[in-house]
Amino acid sequence: MTIVQRHQSLQAEASATLDPNNWDDIRAQGHRMLDDMFDYAANIRERPVWSPIPDDVRARFHSALPHQPTELGEVYREFSDFIVPYATGNVHPGFMGWVHGGGTAVGMLAEMLAAGLNANLGGRDHMPIEVERQVVEWTRAMFGFPTEASGIFVTGTSMANLMAVLVARTAALGSSVRQHGIGDDGALLTAYTSRAAHGCITKAMDIAGFGSNALRNIAVDDCHRIDVAALRAQISRDREAGLTPFLVVGSAGTVDIGAIDDLAALSALCREEKLWFHVDGAYGALGILSPELRPRLAGIEHADSIALDFHKWGQVPYDAGFLMVRDGRQHRDTFAAPAAYLRRETRGLAAGASWPCDLGPDLSRGFRALKTWFTLKAYGTEKLGAVITRTCALASYLEARISAEPRLELLAPVQLNIVCFRYRGTDANALNGEIVADIQESGIAAPSTTLLDGQLAIRAAIVNHRTDVCDIDALISAVLEFGAQRTGAGVVDVEQSPPLAM
C-alpha cells in the first residue's frame, strides 16, 4: 500500500475513539448518576448501614470477560442494583467499625473533576502538580514543619509508614544502601515502636528488608501509651549487644483505643540518642486541627517524618494517604533516580523539578491532591477541626451511657474517638463477637471488634462527620437488645434516650 492508500484506508475505517457519538446522551446519563449519588448521601439514613451480599449477587461478578460492548445505561443499572446496596457502609452515620472516614459531596465532585482531567502527577510542569505542592505547603504549616520539608500523597498510611522506614534507613546507612542493599551494617539496625502500634509498621520492617524481628515492640501503660522508660532501657540493651538503633515510631492515635504516645518525650529521646523519629498519625495527626486535641499532640512538630491519612478524620474520599519528611533532601535521596526518559528540562512540559516521582516508589500517580485541596478550601480547617472535636464528644457520650448501664462494661479508657466495651455475660468473648455480627447484619450500626488483654471488645470508632447522638443511642439499644436475646434474658426495656439522672 502506498502512503496515500494507507491514509485513505485509515480515514475510511470506523473511528476507534472511545468518545461517545452523541455527547448529549452521556450528558443526560451522567447528570442522572450525579443526582443519584447526591440522593445516596442525602438519604443515607434510610438504608441499612451494611447488608450481607446475597449469593446470587456475588455470583454475577464471576462472569466472563466482556468482548462486546454493553449499553452504558445497563452497566449503570448493574452498579445501582448490585454494587451500591452492598458497599462497605462507611458513608452511613451508623458506621463505627475500624477507622473509616465518611467522605463528602465536595470530595466526590472533586474526584469526578480529577478523573476528567486525567492528570498524571508523577512529574512534569502542570497545574495539578502545583495543587499537590499547595497541599504539601498547607500540611507543612499545620504541623509547623520547616520550609525544606517535603510531602507526597500516597495510597494510605501503610505505604507512608513503609516509605518513612526507607527514608530512615537511607539516613542511617547513607545513600549507597540503594546500590548495595542493607548489608552487614543494615543487619544490625533495630527499630522501636509500642505494642499498641499498627501492624503495618511490622510489615514495613519486613518489606524494607530488615525483617520484623528487628522491630522491638515496647510495653505500654494502662492508657496504651508507649512506656518511654522501657524504650530507653531497650535501646541501651541493644547498643550494649552491638546493635544499631535507628528508628522510633510513635503513635498519634493507636488503632485499637486511640492512645497518643508522649510525642514530646519521644522526640527528646530521639534527639538524645540520634534516632529517626517517625510518627504514625494515620488518623490522629489531623487532631492538630482541633483546638481541644492540639495540645495532646505536642512534640509532633519535632518529628523527622509524619504519616497520616486525609481519608480518615479528614473525610476526604478514599484514598488520600500522606507522608511528610522534615528534611526534603533526605526524602529525595531515598527515592530519586535518574532515567533518560524522565529527563528534566528548564523549559517546556518537562520542567518543574523536583517531581513527585523523586519522593516515592510510584511514577504514574493520580490527582489525590485535588479532593484534599477542595476539602480544605470548601470547609476550612476550623470546620474540619470542629468535626474532629465533635466525634470525640460523641465518644465521650457513648462512654457515659456505657458507665450508666449495668449490663455493659467499659474495657479501655476513652481518650479520643474510640470506645471499647462489652456486654457482660458468661463466655463474654464469644457472646460479644456474636453481638457485633448481629448488629452488623441488622443494618442498625457497624461496630467492629478488637482484643484487649485477651478480652474481646465491641469497638466503636466515631470518625464519620455524619454520626450523631441518635446513632450512639441506636448502637447502645442494639447491643442491649441482641445481648438480651443471646443470653436468653428475654425482651428488655431498652431506653431510646439516656437516663434522666445523667
* Interface contacts to ligand PLP, rule CB under 6 A: 99, 156-158, 198, 200, 251, 253, 255, 280, 282-283, 309, 321
By beta-carbon proximity to ligand PLP, the closer residue of 322 and 423 is 322
CB 279 within 8 A of CB 300: yes
With a CB cutoff of 8 Å and minimum separation 6, the contacts of 137 are: none
CB atoms within 10 A of CB 398: 25
By beta-carbon proximity to ligand PLP, the closer residue of 101 and 425 is 101
Look at the block and give the residue holding cell 527515592: 335
Measured between alpha carbons, how far is residue 119 from residues 72, 152, 222, 258, 496 in Å? Answer: 24, 16, 48, 36, 50
By beta-carbon proximity to ligand PLP, the closer residue of 203 and 390 is 203
176 alpha-carbon distance from chain centroid: 32
By beta-carbon proximity to ligand PLP, the closer residue of 157 and 234 is 157
With a CB cutoff of 8 Å and minimum separation 6, the contacts of 260 are: 225, 251, 252, 253, 254, 284, 287, 296, 297, 415, 416
User: Residue 317 CB, nearest distance to ligand PLP (Å)?
Assistant: 13
The C-alpha cell that represents 325 in the structure block: 519528611
User: Residue 322 CB, nearest distance to ligand PLP (Å)?
Assistant: 10
By beta-carbon proximity to ligand PLP, the closer residue of 203 and 486 is 203
In our burial notation (b when 16+ CB lie closer than 10 A, e otherwise), range 83-93 reads eeeeeebbbbb
By beta-carbon proximity to ligand PLP, the closer residue of 256 and 481 is 256
User: Residue 297 CB, nearest distance to ligand PLP (Å)?
Assistant: 14
User: Residue 197 CB, nearest distance to ligand PLP (Å)?
Assistant: 7
By beta-carbon proximity to ligand PLP, the closer residue of 143 and 283 is 283
User: Residue 466 CB, nearest distance to ligand PLP (Å)?
Assistant: 19
Q: Which of 330, 275, 365 is nearest to 148 (CA)?
A: 330
Measured between alpha carbons, how far is residue 114 from residues 108, 239, 367, 370 in Å? Answer: 10, 50, 6, 7
The DSSP annotation for 179-213 comes to HH-SHHHHTTEEEEEETTS-HHHHHHHHHTTS-GG
In our burial notation (b when 16+ CB lie closer than 10 A, e otherwise), range 357-382 reads bbbbebeebbbbbbbbbbbbeebeee
CB 388 within 8 A of CB 432: no
CB atoms within 10 A of CB 191: 26
User: Residue 16 CB, nearest distance to ligand PLP (Å)?
Assistant: 39
DSSP state of 322: E
Q: What is the CA radius of gyration of the chain?
A: 26
By beta-carbon proximity to ligand PLP, the closer residue of 322 and 397 is 322
User: Residue 248 CB, nearest distance to ligand PLP (Å)?
Assistant: 15
User: Residue 138 CB, nearest distance to ligand PLP (Å)?
Assistant: 20
User: Residue 166 CB, nearest distance to ligand PLP (Å)?
Assistant: 16
CB 474 within 8 A of CB 445: yes
Closest residue to ligand PLP, judged by C-beta, is: 156
By beta-carbon proximity to ligand PLP, the closer residue of 246 and 283 is 283
CB 409 within 8 A of CB 422: yes
By beta-carbon proximity to ligand PLP, the closer residue of 235 and 252 is 252
User: Residue 24 CB, nearest distance to ligand PLP (Å)?
Assistant: 40
Whole-number Å distance between alpha carbons of 496 and 315: 29
By beta-carbon proximity to ligand PLP, the closer residue of 309 and 405 is 309
Whole-number Å distance between alpha carbons of 475 and 469: 10
By beta-carbon proximity to ligand PLP, the closer residue of 194 and 432 is 194
Look at the block and give the residue holding cell 450481607: 52
User: Residue 227 CB, nearest distance to ligand PLP (Å)?
Assistant: 18
3-state secondary structure labels for all residues of 114-157: HHHHCCCCCCCCCHHHHHHHHHHHHHHHHHCCCCCCEEEEECCH
Q: Which of 326, 329, 364 is nearest to 136 (CA)?
A: 326
User: Residue 223 CB, nearest distance to ligand PLP (Å)?
Assistant: 15
